């Protein structure tokens, strides 16, 4: 009997904790809404000029080929660059992702001097933080999928970057439902980092510069 009461108490506590956690996640998602300007890569005439187009890191296959998600981001930055909407391209993510992106763009005739590597941009928070502080006073485009606009726009605003998201969706992604589910809960991390903890990125610009 006592064990049963304990088990019931544990289950009730778990339900309460889970409900509180879900409520907090909903609160964070609502808090991430901003009026940040966004663009669509297919509406080039509406896009104003920026100094840099940022390609956040994404999955690279074992053979070194970028996933569709990363390929779309790279093609979006390439289009901005070719249309002279961005002067240079910043590849920001894990080193393997950035090297795959660099090969992809150089194969498409982007000169190496117009490609910058940010191996310290291990998540969106770090990318926005590092790029905005490495190049103060400059304007940025972040080439990403529309489903990430809310969180990315919130980080741009909170970290005081002069920037905007550019929609580059060109494929139907296999794990779309999973990615949306994961990004729903990623709102917690973005809100806590910007409003409470305000951490420095894992790698400072001094120890790992953007170059």
Q: Is residue 37 part of a domain?
A: yes
| Contact in structure between 70 and 98 (CB atoms under 8 Å) | no
- DSSP one-letter code for 201: P
- What pLDDT, on a 0 to 100 scale, did the predictor assign at position 70? 97
- What pLDDT, on a 0 to 100 scale, did the predictor assign at position 175? 81
Express each pLDDT in 38-84 by its tens digit.
Answer: 999 999 999 999 999 999 999 999 999 999 999 999 999 999 999 99
Q: Is residue 177 part of a domain?
A: yes
- The CATH number given to whatever domain includes residue 157 is 3.40.50.620
For residue 90, the enclosing domain spans 32-197
Q: Is residue 111 part of a domain?
A: yes
Could you tell me which of 39, 77, 85, 43 has the C-alpha nearest to residue 57?
77
Q: Is residue 204 part of a domain?
A: no
Q: Is residue 129 part of a domain?
A: yes
Q: How many domains does the chain have?
A: 1
Q: Both ends of the chain: CA-CA distance in Å?
A: 66
**Host H or E run for residue 165:** strand 162-167
Q: Is residue 56 part of a domain?
A: yes
| Contact in structure between 134 and 116 (CB atoms under 8 Å) | no
Q: Is residue 153 part of a domain?
A: yes
**Host H or E run for residue 86:** strand 86-92
pLDDT < 70 regions, the chain: 1-18
């Amino acid at each position: 009997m006592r064990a049963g009461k304990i088990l019931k108490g544990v289950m009730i506590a778990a339900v309460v904790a889970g409900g509180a956690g879900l409520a907090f996640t909903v609160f964070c998602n609502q808090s991430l809404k901003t009026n940040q300007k966004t663009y669509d890569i297919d509406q080039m005439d509406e896009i104003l000029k920026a100094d840099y187009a940022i390609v956040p890191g994404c999955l690279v296959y074992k053979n070194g080929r970028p996933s569709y998600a990363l390929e779309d981001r790279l093609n979006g930055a390439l289009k901005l660059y070719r249309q002279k909407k961005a002067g240079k391209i910043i590849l920001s993510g894990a080193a393997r992702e950035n090297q795959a992106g660099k090969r992809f763009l150089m194969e498409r005739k982007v000169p190496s001097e117009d490609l910058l590597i940010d191996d310290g941009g291990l998540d969106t928070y770090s990318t926005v933080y590092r790029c905005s502080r490495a190049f103060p006073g400059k304007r940025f485009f972040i080439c990403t999928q529309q489903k990430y606009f809310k969180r990315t726009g919130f980080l741009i605003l909170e970290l005081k970057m002069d920037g905007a998201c550019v929609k580059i969706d060109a494929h139907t992604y296999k794990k779309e439902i999973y990615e949306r589910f994961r990004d729903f809960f990623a709102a917690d991390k973005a809100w806590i980092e910007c409003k409470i903890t305000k951490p420095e990125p894992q790698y400072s610009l001094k120890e790992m510069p953007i170059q």
